[in-house]
């Protein structure tokens, strides 16, 4: 395990960086879409619907980034499995899972509202 440990540490760092890239890409993409929508939309209802879609897209990027971070945390814990690390991983996974749950719920509710309109 000691021979693989540096490789797993590097892999966890790469995955962390990838998570930051995913969320940054999502923010940039959604910011661009938001600005374009604000300047091109004539109807307030169309603007509201487009903004809701953009918000859902951003939430999707955030969810993906959280899932990627969980994967990195699992790899980091495999490298050094102390009780403190395992407890910290468990707490982190619980917190991120709760955030993911509520983001998913919000996305589904706003999609349902769009379908009703």
Alpha-carbon distances of 69 from 38, 85, 106, 114, rounded to whole Å: 32, 15, 21, 30
Q: Give pLDDT tens digits for 12-58.
A: 999 999 999 999 999 999 999 999 998 888 888 888 888 888 998 99
pLDDT digits 0-9 by tens, 72-117: 888 888 887 888 888 888 888 888 888 888 888 887 777 766 665 5
Report, as an integer, the average pLDDT of 59-75: 89
Which tokens sit at 71?
Answer: 């994967």
| pLDDT range class, residue 5, cuts 50, 70, 90 | confident
Q: DSSP secondary-structure letter at 108?
A: H
| pLDDT (0 to 100) of residue 77 | 83
Q: Where exactly are the structural domains of the chain?
A: 5-116
């Amino acid at each position: 395990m000691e021979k693989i440990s540096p490789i797993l540490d590097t892999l966890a760092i790469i995955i962390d960086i990838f998570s930051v890239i995913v969320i940054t890409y999502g923010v940039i993409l959604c910011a661009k879409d938001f600005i374009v929508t604000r300047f091109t939309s004539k109807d307030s209802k169309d603007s509201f619907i487009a903004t809701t879609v953009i918000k859902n897209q951003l939430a999707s990027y955030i969810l993906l980034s959280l899932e990627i971070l969980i994967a990195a945390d699992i790899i980091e814990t495999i490298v050094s499995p102390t009780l403190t690390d395992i407890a910290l991983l468990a707490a982190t996974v619980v917190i991120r899972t709760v955030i993911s749950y509520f983001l998913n719920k919000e996305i589904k509710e706003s999609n349902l509202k769009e379908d009703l309109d």
